[in-house]
Chains A and B, each alone.
Chain A
Amino acid sequence: MTIHHPSEDLLFDYAAGSLPEPVALAVAGHAAHCAGCQRRIREIEDVGGAALETAETAALSAHALDAVMARLDAPAEEPAKPEVTAETRAALPSPLWPYVGGDIGKIRWKRKGKGIETADVPLSCGGYSAHLLRIQPGHSVPVHTHRGTEYTLVLKGAYHDGAEHYAAGDLQVADASLNHQPVADPGEVCLCLAVLDEPLRFTGPVARYLNPFIRL
């Protein structure tokens, strides 16, 4: 049972479609666990549907319907979804499946200190970074602060940041003022998605070599 939910405005912006991809990923990852948040998202989408229904219209060209009709029998050009392994299904919420190519076993982890490994999550938008984090039981992420907002979704296991406990499905949103040190619970590896909205000056090739948790 998740305890830490996205705020109303995050759910709203996710449903309306205005959240940037990595933040949407964290919100959707939480909602995959949470029927209450799924219901709220559906409610906002219903308002979107009603807005679409009651809005003014823009006339299409005379041939639009014929053009679409002619394409109905053509095969879909969309790429097939990758197969998702059972291990991946068990470990990750579905919004993350495509980001690991459907196979959690193929993630290339990089060691970032004792008991900590990270892997980049490929994004299609700039200004953000997203990482998967694997923390060994009882180990901690170095104390850090950040310039932007950090969204941490617990995927597996749990951590305590000194103030609160976060378990699978929980989403922690930490702004720049929070100085925290997540410590994984003993007994189980803690897997997280960490999304950081960075000031633009930290993007680009140089930023990749920075430890994502130490921003000066």
Chain B
Amino acid sequence: MFEAEPAVLSARPSSSAPPMSGVRMTEPKGASASSGPPANKELVGLMSAVAEKRSREAFAGLFEHFAPRVKSFIMRAGAAPDVAEELAQETMLMVWRKAASFDASKAAVSTWVFTIARNKRIDRLRRENRPEIDPEDLKLDSETPDPAAAVSALQNRSILETAIKDLTEDQARVIRMAFYEDKSHSAIAEELGLPLGTVKSRIRLALGRLRTMVEQDEV
């Protein structure tokens, strides 16, 4: 699943990939402008200050970084600015309340915030419940060798963020529609007037390409 297909991918030099249209991939603004975006490490530091010391100062740092991104993320799914603002605030409130359940060994901070914002979006914009796996669930296959098996190969945040900007326009568009616009495979196919199989393979190629870029960089 999501196998990389280097032969296809390497045929297209990444330098020629046009920038994503619609969604501008800006450099994230960090606490220290000179060193670029706050690395996951820095965000993890803020998270643990919030979780362990209930630091409001650290929370303000997380708010400053994530709230404007979450608001933008929710607006793209079709919400009015005031609704998006409210959901961004509620997402950050959940960050405060659930900080103790954040596990830096399992997810990057932005992944964790994404899942909270995604669930808020489902809850509010679609008025649906979100079925999730409870951490207390012990149903996992006993064959599972170790908990690390559940860790994603794409955890290396800084490389992944660079890689995502290097997707081809076709790949970037489907990824964008899926994550920002709350569109399923079939909805994307319908909107772009493409066969479902084409959308599936574009998403698969995009994921494969991200994985290849992250893995190459880690070697």
Contact = CB atoms under 8 A, between A and B. Distances in A.
A46 B161 CA distance: 10
B176 A51 contact: yes
Given A98-B129, A124-B128, 13 more contacts: A9-B185, A12-B178, A18-B182, A28-B133, A33-B141, A45-B111, A52-B113, A52-B114, A60-B89, A64-B63, A89-B136, A94-B136, A124-B127
Given A38-B150, A49-B108, A49-B114, A56 B72 contact: yes
Interface residues on B, range: 35 or more
B53 interface: no
Contact of A169 (B115, B139, B183): B139
Given A17-B118, A32-B139, A46 B107 contact: yes
A21 interface: yes
A44 B207 contact: yes
A34 B149 contact: no
Given A29-B131, A35-B150, A51-B179, A57 B144 contact: no
A43 B152 contact: yes
A65 B161 contact: no
B140 A33 contact: yes
A124 B130 CA distance: 10
B185 A13 contact: yes
B191 interface: no
A108 B96 CA distance: 39
Contact of B161 (A48, A53, A56): A53
Interface string B103-138: 000111111111101110110001111111110111
Interface stretch (A67-75, A111-119, A140-148): A67-75
Contacts of B119: 17
B12 interface: no
Contacts of B112: 49
B85 interface: yes
A19 B152 contact: no
A12 B175 CA distance: 10
B26 interface: yes
Interface of B: 1-2, 23-26, 28-29, 37, 56, 59-60, 63-64, 66-73, 75, 81, 84-85, 88-89, 92-93, 96-97, 106-115, 117-119, 121-122, 126-134, 136-141, 143-144, 149-155, 157, 160-161, 163-165, 175-176, 178-180, 182-185, 187, 200, 203-204, 207, 210-211
A89 to B, nearest CB: 7
Contact of A53 (B69, B96, B143, B152): B69
Contact of B137 (A9, A13, A32, A124): A32
Interface string A8-47: 1101110011111100110011011111101110111111
Contacts of B211: 43
